[in-house]
Structure 1
């Protein structure tokens, strides 16, 4: 069955965004404890491109399937986990790239920041998925906690969207945004 990419974030209501988040059924990788470990011979480049044994993985459905099996341990090592084995995967920066951002208001008027990933997952920034500022004031880098220790780096246009929103809601010397009741400072420490 061919893969149908979802509608653009701007076209979705808050209810549709929440539905997109809920519709993504993910394997229970956090409950699996495979005895066998090894290497996957896979790499995720800093731009989000996936490779296997040096060749680019070009099928979006394959990338989506593999990405649903990703975890990152406390030491920062990324793994592809199945019930049978746990395979190391090289990740140059972050496992995902945030490619689009939309800010909506919930029924109480509070902001909700939705981000689309390069895998077409939709993640709502909030207490369970914080936005993280790294780098320096001159060269900042912004990340979103995704799942199982993995993160998404905001690409340039998504970073621009986030900063535009932050400038509209906070003073430049205390740049921050809110989503789902959590506040996220955007100035690297």
Structure 2
């Protein structure tokens, strides 16, 4: 496992890796201009008018102006607001790194738009179970109220490194990052 000196240093490295700050979409409140035929699929692929967007740079650009209001998603600029569809979560975690710091173990996730996030109480992980199938879907908060579905193979890696802990009388399997325990489910 890679070694980082401390949690604060790791957070600074992640912010610097971003290269530039994101547009202040939370401050923008333009008029709604209508819906755009853009869909973000559960598998993380973006489709415009039924055709996959093949240019990752374009997807990354769009992702920087993505905003969620209630249950609805929009691409926004200071003067426009276009509705889009998101099947599940707008991002998909595709990489994970487990590291040791002076403060203990941390897990860093990276999504399909190159956003990196440290698993902490501010960016928590949680698992939702499908009501019909019982299938687990793990998520992490990426920024603001935008979340990412964690790819199934990474979920299996999390389960492999998990430990048991009793939480409010129930045994849970979970992982520890930045001093916090994140449940993957009851056992």
**Separation in 2, partners of 1:100, 1:175:** 21
Q: Does 1:28 align with 2:15?
A: no
Q: Is the 8 A contact 2:3 2:100 kept in 1?
A: no
Structure 2 unaligned regions, length at least 5: none
TM-score after normalising by structure 2:
0.83
**Separation in 1, partners of 2:180, 2:35:** 37
SS at match of 1:146: strand
Partner of 1:140: 136
Q: Does 1:130 align with 2:128?
A: no
Partner of 2:172: 174
SS at match of 1:157: helix
**Once the 2 structures are TM-superposed, how far is the Cα of residue 73 of structure 1 from its aligned partner?**
1.9
For residues 113-139 of structure 1, the C-alpha deviation after alignment (integer angstroms, 9 at most, x for no partner) is 101101121111112211011015941
Q: Is the 8 A contact 1:174 1:185 kept in 2?
A: yes
Which has more strand, going by share of residues?
Answer: 2
**Separation in 2, partners of 1:174, 1:55:** 42
Distance 1:42 1:134, change over 3 A: same
Aligned length: 174
TM-score after normalising by structure 1:
0.82
Partner of 1:5: none
**Once the 2 structures are TM-superposed, how far is the Cα of residue 171 of structure 1 from its aligned partner?**
5.3
Q: Is the 8 A contact 1:36 1:84 kept in 2?
A: no
SS at match of 1:127: coil
Q: Is the 8 A contact 2:137 2:149 kept in 1?
A: yes
For residues 24-46 of structure 1, the C-alpha deviation after alignment (integer angstroms, 9 at most, x for no partner) is 22111111111243212210111
Q: Is the 8 A contact 1:101 1:162 kept in 2?
A: no
Partner of 1:7: none
**Separation in 2, partners of 1:118, 1:17:** 19
Partner of 1:104: 99
